[in-house]
Structure 1
Amino acid sequence: MNPHRRLTLTHAIQCSLLLALPGLAAAQDAPAPTATTLDTVQVTGTRIKRAEIEGQVPVQTVTREDIERTGLTSIGDVVQALTASGSALNTKFNSSGNFGFPPDGSGVGAGSAQVDLRHLGAKRVLVLVDGIRWVNEASASGVGSATDLNTIPLAIVDRIEVLEDGASALYGSDAIAGVVNIITRRSFDGASISAQYGEYGEGDGATSKLDIAWGWNGERSNLFLGASYTDQEQVRSNTREQSRFPVPGTGVAFGSSGTPTGRFIFTDPNTGATLDVTPNTGDGDPNYDPTQTGCDRTDGFHCFSSADRFNFSQFNLLVTPSERAGLFGQFRFDISDSTNWYVKALYNRRESTNQAAPEPIFLGPAAGTGNPISDNIFISGANPFNPFGFDLDARLSTPPEERNLILIGRRPVEGGPRVFEQEVDTWYVGTGFEGLFDAGQRTWFWDVNFAHSENEAKQTNFGSYDIRNIALALGDPAACAAVAGCTPLNIFGGPGSITPEMLAFIQPIVRDRSENILTLATANLSGDLFDIWAGPLAFAAGVEHRRYEGSYQPDPLTVAGFYNGVPSLPTSGEYDVTELYTEFNVPLMANAERGSRLDLSVAGRYSDYSTFGGEFTGKLGLRWQVADELVLRTTFAEGFRAPSIGELFGSASRFDAQLVDPCTEPFLDPSLEGNCRVLGVPAGYAQPNPQISVTTGGNEQLDPERADSFSAGMVWSPSLLENTDISERVDFEVTFYRHEIEGAIQAIDAQTQLDLCVESLDPLFCDSISRAATGDINGFNNRLTNLGVIETSGWDVDLFWVFPESDLGQLSVDWRNTFVADYEAIGAAGQRQPQGVGIEVVDSSIPEWTSTFVTEWERNNWSAAWTIRHIDELREDCGAAVTFPICSDPATGTNVLEATTYHDLQVGYRFDWLRGLELTAGANNLFDEDPPICLSCSLNGYDASTYDIPGGRFFYVRADLRF
């Protein structure tokens, strides 16, 4: 964005806020005409408590009835089904293991459910509960910068309001892409029990849910108590054809070179021959013959090929198990006719599990793990299990000509799969006073609030290894014998060669923990200042103070550098912010006879951060009610997002990215051969492992992200279609949106950085990537920075049609559509990031068109709903799979993910027993539509953030009883 344009807008808003009162005071005696408003469209997004300004911004309200119609058991899953939602974590992501640590320091978020609006990322969406900020997640592997919606029990939700517009001027940091406001149940009289059970058509993934609610309304007080329990069982990847192999249609070609039998790449010091061999399966311990320097061998070894790779997918999960229990209470007391006091509290526990294949042990410079113990390993020739009879040496202290070990990849299946168990506890307490008072002829509303919330996560990892003890057990047997419990390790034989005694020495239990704490206090005031020519000048103002604290503490084994898995270091940090905001609604024109009205809204917020100083954001909006049936609206808002604790203070960590090295032979682009030689890659180099370790970390020099958001649209409720033979009511809504983010906080896409390095040899991209003498990448630094610009724009087009009631019942249609016109992310140096409209990349997608079409029918005690969910066609890069038939267009190297449509059906019947018993049966993905095959996705052959799982027909029954 042009800096002068931002400065001009900021000054304009500041001047508007300062001059609104005196500039209009002369007209305060003018009568205020009564304006008609559209009561068929529910909207929020303002701090001013007046109905006349509803419809200013696009807000989608998901009612409790809408939630129950989905058959889903998580708020995250419900919100992710909205057409404006982008890719975000959910329980279909088996996201531990090699996913490692994202550059923002947030950790993998295993077991959480997040929300992304407009494809701008979950950390750019602000989550509120009853208008108050909710604490960010603690992932147990980092300090999260997004909210885990699984910390909020579904039983306590009355409705969800989704503001699909920038709102930093009203709500502060993070509200760049929008706001999700979860409204809890409050006025509830009696009790209710809701029980649901469902499972997939394959007989797995059983999900049980029990919600209990009780409420009491007295003369001066009311109380609501809610309890929720959800148990979601796992679905294994090997139960579905599509997810049984790393990349569907390619067998084990893209499997791991860390195999149960072992892969050994070394140079024989006696013959000078460089070998890449693996033991024959079922031959017992191999007997190496140094005279056999080729691949035609009879010594129990054979040359390693793609057919020997390990299929790690068979151990993964399609749906991760998640058990959640929550308690919530809310009490309100009317101190007087004009003042009430409230207190609310919540406790929520989530226990979830992720599972990955048995952890591989990679040793040698080509391993590229970033761990100096494994990369510089020494394996003694005196090890009783070493079949080669000579030392395997990768130590930097050894003269280069004597270093003979390149890579060992051994996967100890004897130790079982890696299992990551999370325990996540969330506490929340909030209290405050609300009231009103009269000043002259006007009523003013006020409230003061205090809230404290904590999210604490513990993760226990079974099945990983201690690389220090591995090195000791592989080294000098005399040194091993001097350490209690150490026994020489056999990584040279096939499965079963690693004994329980060996495992006991090298396999620890790893425990990590992290937490996020949010403490805040707010005070707000809203009312009408005075009348001007077109009505009362409405006003709101407030102050808010927040304190953030976060920390991540990995296991001491990890801190010491002895963890064989993904390394990390502790992170901790804190900061606070004090904010002042004000908002005006200025009626510019009103004509009661024609039902027309024109309102200008002006809002501004000043934020003072302890980490970087002050920031002002503003917002302007126009709402023109042309007539009773038509509203036109537009907004322009400045936004910003402060760097999170993980982004600022996150220490060096690592994730294992699925990357294609452009220097591997045969070259996908032969013109790059010369550049690869300049980078030190020798002829004949072949990338041994598709997973390349990438180091990430925070940056205390980060600036806030700054954004501009624009929206324009209309809401039309044609009177011609009101109470007619074909409709009772029709609403048509169209919104255009555009977001532009400057200085977006993220790292350049790792594959893009690698490609640009090889293509350009530019030090900007290459200085952070190092290679061993063998050509293998052994260092990849991918740190956070303020990137250039992210721009996106598109349209929401929604239709709501209620048909007249007849003897056959009443039918209604709710059709929502989002069309993404443009999405572009540009790095700080002008490099284009791979994300774009109609593209699948990095386990996420931006479909050009997403749509949900809901038809509801009611007749007497019967009800039914049919939901159609549509996702447009996508394209992805085939990468190294271009030579396989599964790549739909090998000529261009792209694969098409065909458009996908899901159908959901629900039928219910209400019995007039007690206060009502309703039985419901439903099926999601009724026709068992499989997701399109994704060749670039990390796990399970599909995009878990966009589609239902393969074999995803899900049946459920539910009983709801009120008494």
Structure 2
Amino acid sequence: MRMESTLSKSIKLALISAVGVTGMVGFGAVAQEQEAEEVERIEVTGSRIKRIGDLSPTPVTVVTGAQMADMGITNVADILNQLPSSTVGLSPETSNNFIFANGLNTTNLRGLGADRTLVLVNGRRFVAGSNGNSAVDLNTIPTAIVERIEVVTGGASAVYGSDAIAGVVNIITRKDIQGAEVDLSYIQPEQSGGEEMQASFTFGGDYLDGKLSSVFNVTYAEQKQLKATDRDFLSNPVGSIHNPDNVDGEDGLPARIQYEGRKPLSWINEAGTFFTSEGQFTFDENGNLKPFDYGEGLIPGPDYANNNGNYCGPSCEGYDPTNYSFIRTPLERWVLTFNNDYEINDDHKIVSEITYAKYDTHGESSPVFHTYDPANTVKADNAFLTAETKALLDRTGADEFTFYRIDTEFGNRKYEQERETLRFMLGLEGAINDNWEYSVYAQKGALEETTLWTGEIWDQRYHQAKDAIVDANGNIVCRDEAARAAGCVPLNLFGVNQASQEAIDWVQTSAGRSADTDQFSAGAFLSGSVYELPAGDLGVAFSIEYRKEEASTTPDQALIDGTIFGNTAVPSDGDYDVTEAAIEMSIPVFDGMFLADDLTFDLAYRWMDYSTAGKEDAWKLGVSWAPIADLRFRANKSKSVRAPNIGELFDPGGQTFASITDVCDVANIDQGPNENRKKNCTAAGYGNGWNPTDDWYQGSRPGSISGNPDLDAETSRDYTIGFVYTPSFIEDFSVTMDYWSFEITDAINYISVNTAVRYCYDSESLDNIYCGLFTRDSVTGNIIDFVERPVNSASFDVKGLDIETDYRFSLDSLGDFRIHLIATYLEKWEYNPTGFEADLQKDVGEYTDPRWKARFTVSWTYDELTIDALANYRHSAVASNDWQPENNNYNDIPSHTTWDFTGTYDVNQDWTLRFGVLNAFDKAPPRNPYVYDGDGLYDTQGRAFFLGTNYRF
């Protein structure tokens, strides 16, 4: 069996009050270890104070690297996203359609946002994983080098600074490695697609007479793409359609009903289709005219054109989105880690950390497509049209038609992403005397991102090339003489794969963007005991830190000019710096007294000075009280902050268009929720029957999207209160409960132009944050410009309860057993993006925020064999709390449980085998239009088989 190191026992001792996850030590065992061994001071997440066998001042969840390996987990994000206290941030399952975020793996504690979750490595910040953001990309952390992960699910800004509103994830890397080890793992789904593998080599040892301790690791990991067509339940999607029996909003019948199966779009396909007075037509593969085949017929439902519906049955000739649906982006990564500790003497050492990570991924979507557009027409004399097609056009009196087509000639659009991260840290740590320890460090982190769009086309060339005619010599050429002179090659789009390679090459292109992110930080920490009180040492920690963040992007000129299909980008450049100072105190008041076996107060205060958001502060008050040895109560109250990141501040954005409803229009001015609208519109000069000009409503209005350099920091008032019960009459049993609350104000939220117009005039006065987001013409009063930018308008109010129970016992010759449960109950989830009562969103109980989430584990160990059964549970939910029977018939989403069965076998002290089946009962996501494809919340892998091995030498 595996032997526990003194270090692991020390960690367990320091975290005995923590909320744990699989592998958490039992309390009875801790007490025995405390008596048996003397342990050194160690640091626990949530505090900078070094403690000897002390209790964590805040609830902490702990996961070890060994546990992740045993469960078949190859990415740190995967275990964090399974914790009940967490929600999936960006991941390969959720980032496919985010062009600059493909493949990112971030964690999102309490569902409050990845930018509100601070990720540390060995207690220090790590460079951001995406340009302009602050969230760390967990792809850069190899699981083989992880000793443990400590998660504080509560405000921790006073201890660690900005971004820690929702909590802190501190990844502690391995240090005491002697020799080498090779680790291999592979996951094979029962259905092809989504395969995963990881290979890791780790080497460590002591050199120079034991003064130098080094750890080196290189990890290669690959995750294959998962398409909708790779899974039965995805290939047979669940959607919704218009209810043909519904008459109006008061007949008691839902407007939409659930629909199972594929439903192609009836007005566009890969061969091209168009409409005439004689009906809808398309082409066969060779370009011959044929009537459009609706298969089982049109699915009833209103559309913009003819009230017959946009979709048709599975066998019709329309465009089937399922064939182009991608559920998980592929991910291939290399990570190198090289850490060193050099002992100058017994009291001082130089520490260094080097991380290099490089990975490739891509998002993927359908080929470019063309629908209704004044430029997207085909003239009746097009050289590639057959005589039959020209006869149809002549018969119907059409000299041109709008052409609806998916242009497969150019391949799927891919957003290929390459990221390189380099981080170097150099520090000095040691002890000043028996009571005081220090740490000084400086580090530099850099991220380079290169994004390449493939499968793209030049817009102008496409329209020039498809407009083909027969010249005087009988040759097919482009109609536009200037285009011909520039090399235009006529493009045949009628049918499938009829275009020449020369024409494809002339139209097709790619475009890219490079992005650079740089982080420099330096800090000094000092902790120790300032006075010995009757109940113990009064511990303090001082820290001072400086950090500078920079980010810039450089897109290709084609993206700046907007000359390719569907994508634009503009250069950006921004930076900020912050200086911080903090103090933390742990004050023991009573020890070993009646009804006060222990009473300790914890205090922390942090001052911050941002070059952008100005001066801010954060604080924390905590108390830990054990009236008897078996029962401990703990409570924390704090103020936390998050300063805006570079993207929110300096994103130059780009042009956008929007259809605007002017609330001061005579038709809308009396429709406000109160008298404010009419009062403010009149005060601004747009009352008394005012209207925009007649042509203003006839089109979309231009505007822009950008950052906001005037943003302030967000503020959270949060608290936790709970208890830990470890009854002495039941050995190795514990139960922990913690109630928590977050109230975030001035949260950053992007404001649309219609929201800005509405609340400019619905506010108490015209002096508000919304009126400055749009511009009116000084003569007509028409809104002629707007900017959609983030403002400090939102708020969160989130409350819940964390529960953990852990029980270990032995049954003589049958082996050792463990039963472990960790769960979160969500009492309240309210989000208001604007501060107005009408916009309040009460999301608790919806599928994104179910009432209950839990992990349940049963473990059995017999000699060298360990078997684990692990269940992940999500409570039943609804799609929307605002649902009414008139909306649809698919609001209810059932509870969902998946089971993993894994095991380890120690062949000898150097060789361990791992094996298992994940999602053993092949549980698919609920058959509901909202979540049948997982939505990042439910497993889409299906049943998968896991095999791994670790060999040490």
**Fold match (TM-score > 0.5):** yes
Q: For residues 124 and 514 of structure 2, what CA distance do their matches in structure 1 show?
A: 26
| Deviation for aligned residue 1:422 | 1.8
Check 1:581–1:783 CA distance in 2 against 1; reply closer, same or farther (3 A cut).
same
Q: 1:448-527 counterparts in 2 under 5 A?
A: 448-473=440-465, 477-491=479-493, 493-527=494-528
Matched, 1:556 2:524: no
Q: 1:107-256 counterparts in 2 under 5 A?
A: 107=100, 109-138=101-130, 143-218=132-207, 219-244=210-235, 247-248=238-239, 249=259, 251=261, 253=263, 255=265
Identity %: 27
Q: For residues 598 and 704 of structure 1, what CA distance do their matches in structure 2 show?
A: 35
Classify the secondary structure of the residue corresponding to 1:743. strand
Classify the secondary structure of the residue corresponding to 1:720. coil
Name the structure 1 match of 2:426. Answer: 431
| Deviation for aligned residue 1:766 | 15
Query: Which of the residues 897, 905, 921 maps onto 2:893?
Result: 897
Matched, 1:957 2:947: yes
Q: For residues 503 and 929 of structure 1, what CA distance do their matches in structure 2 show?
A: 44
Classify the secondary structure of the residue corresponding to 1:112. coil
In structure 2, the gaps of 5 or more residues are 1-30, 36-41, 240-258, 292-297, 299-304, 394-398, 468-477, 662-670, 673-690, 777-783
Name the structure 2 match of 1:806. Answer: 812
Q: For residues 385 and 367 of structure 2, what CA distance do their matches in structure 1 show?
A: 22
Matched, 1:615 2:616: yes
Q: For residues 131 and 709 of structure 1, what CA distance do their matches in structure 2 show?
A: 22
Matched, 1:346 2:355: yes
Query: Does the aligned pair in 2 maintain the 1:256–1:311 contact within 8 Å?
Result: no
Check 1:655–1:792 CA distance in 2 against 1; reply closer, same or farther (3 A cut).
farther
Query: Which of the residues 882, 907, 910 maps onto 1:911?
Result: 907
Name the structure 1 match of 2:311. Answer: 306
Q: For residues 432 and 881 of structure 2, what CA distance do their matches in structure 1 show?
A: 65
Name the structure 2 match of 1:323. Answer: 332
Q: For residues 850 and 401 of structure 2, what CA distance do their matches in structure 1 show?
A: 43
Query: Does the aligned pair in 1 maintain the 2:149–2:171 contact within 8 Å?
Result: yes
| Deviation for aligned residue 1:282 | 5.8
Name the structure 1 match of 2:589. Answer: 588
Matched, 1:443 2:438: no
Check 1:287–1:484 CA distance in 2 against 1; reply closer, same or farther (3 A cut).
farther
- Matched to 1:417, the amino acid is N
Name the structure 2 match of 1:298. Answer: none
Check 1:464–1:703 CA distance in 2 against 1; reply closer, same or farther (3 A cut).
same
| Deviation for aligned residue 1:962 | 1.6
| Deviation for aligned residue 1:765 | 12
Q: Does 604-613 or 200-209 show the bigger shift?
A: 200-209
- Matched to 2:373, the amino acid is G
Q: For residues 337 and 227 of structure 2, what CA distance do their matches in structure 1 show?
A: 33
> Deviation digits for residues 217-255 of structure 1, max 9, x if unmatched?
353231111111112222221122332367543555474
> Deviation digits for residues 620-664 of structure 1, max 9, x if unmatched?
11111222222111111111111111111112258999x9x9xxx
Matched, 1:942 2:933: yes
Name the structure 2 match of 1:847. Answer: 850
Query: Does the aligned pair in 2 maintain the 1:809–1:860 contact within 8 Å?
Result: yes
Greater relative contact order (Cα < 8 A, sep 6+): 1
Check 1:48–1:407 CA distance in 2 against 1; reply closer, same or farther (3 A cut).
farther
Q: For residues 944 and 758 of structure 2, what CA distance do their matches in structure 1 show?
A: 41
Q: For residues 221 and 503 of structure 2, what CA distance do their matches in structure 1 show?
A: 40
- Matched to 2:860, the amino acid is W
Q: For residues 229 and 601 of structure 1, what CA distance do their matches in structure 2 show?
A: 43
Name the structure 2 match of 1:574. Answer: 575
Query: Which of the residues 809, 824, 837 maps onto 2:844?
Result: 837
Check 1:961–1:552 CA distance in 2 against 1; reply closer, same or farther (3 A cut).
same
Query: Which of the residues 744, 747, 750 maps onto 2:747?
Result: 744
Q: Does 51-60 or 575-584 show the bigger shift?
A: 51-60
Query: Does the aligned pair in 2 maintain the 1:278–1:304 contact within 8 Å?
Result: no
Query: Does the aligned pair in 1 maintain the 2:95–2:104 contact within 8 Å?
Result: no
Name the structure 2 match of 1:786. Answer: 792
* Superposition TM-score, scaled by structure 1 size: 0.77
Check 1:701–1:61 CA distance in 2 against 1; reply closer, same or farther (3 A cut).
same
| Deviation for aligned residue 1:833 | 5.4
Query: Does the aligned pair in 2 maintain the 1:524–1:543 contact within 8 Å?
Result: yes
Q: For residues 717 and 799 of structure 1, what CA distance do their matches in structure 2 show?
A: 10
Q: Does 476-485 or 445-454 show the bigger shift?
A: 476-485
- Matched to 1:715, the amino acid is V
Name the structure 2 match of 1:260. Answer: 270
Check 1:780–1:245 CA distance in 2 against 1; reply closer, same or farther (3 A cut).
farther
* Superposition TM-score, scaled by structure 2 size: 0.78
Check 1:527–1:641 CA distance in 2 against 1; reply closer, same or farther (3 A cut).
same
| Deviation for aligned residue 1:836 | 0.6
Q: For residues 851 and 461 of structure 1, what CA distance do their matches in structure 2 show?
A: 40
How many residues in Structure 1 have an aligned counterpart in Structure 2? 818
| Deviation for aligned residue 1:188 | 1.1
Name the structure 2 match of 1:925. Answer: 919
Name the structure 1 match of 2:243. Answer: none
Query: Which of the residues 856, 859, 862 maps onto 2:862?
Result: 859
- Matched to 1:952, the amino acid is G
- Matched to 1:322, the amino acid is L
Query: Does the aligned pair in 1 maintain the 2:520–2:548 contact within 8 Å?
Result: yes
- Matched to 2:224, the amino acid is E
- Matched to 2:429, the amino acid is E
Q: 1:705-716 counterparts in 2 under 5 A?
A: 705-716=714-725
| Deviation for aligned residue 1:589 | 2.4
- Matched to 2:895, the amino acid is A
> Deviation digits for residues 293-329 of structure 1, max 9, x if unmatched?
xx9xxxxx99995226422221232332211111111
| Deviation for aligned residue 1:157 | 0.7
Q: For residues 276 and 628 of structure 1, what CA distance do their matches in structure 2 show?
A: 83
| Deviation for aligned residue 1:954 | 1.1
Matched, 1:335 2:327: no
Query: Does the aligned pair in 2 maintain the 1:867–1:905 contact within 8 Å?
Result: yes
Check 1:718–1:215 CA distance in 2 against 1; reply closer, same or farther (3 A cut).
same
| Deviation for aligned residue 1:721 | 0.4
Name the structure 1 match of 2:679. Answer: none
Query: Does the aligned pair in 2 maintain the 1:338–1:436 contact within 8 Å?
Result: yes
| Deviation for aligned residue 1:52 | 6.2
Matched, 1:819 2:825: yes
Query: Does the aligned pair in 1 maintain the 2:451–2:514 contact within 8 Å?
Result: yes
Q: 1:658-669 counterparts in 2 under 5 A?
A: none
| Deviation for aligned residue 1:156 | 1.1
- Matched to 2:646, the amino acid is I
- Matched to 1:338, the amino acid is D
Classify the secondary structure of the residue corresponding to 2:332. strand
Q: For residues 205 and 339 of structure 1, what CA distance do their matches in structure 2 show?
A: 48
| Deviation for aligned residue 1:893 | 5.0
Q: For residues 497 and 765 of structure 1, what CA distance do their matches in structure 2 show?
A: 53
Classify the secondary structure of the residue corresponding to 2:66. helix
- Matched to 2:527, the amino acid is S
Query: Does the aligned pair in 2 maintain the 1:277–1:304 contact within 8 Å?
Result: no
Check 1:408–1:568 CA distance in 2 against 1; reply closer, same or farther (3 A cut).
farther
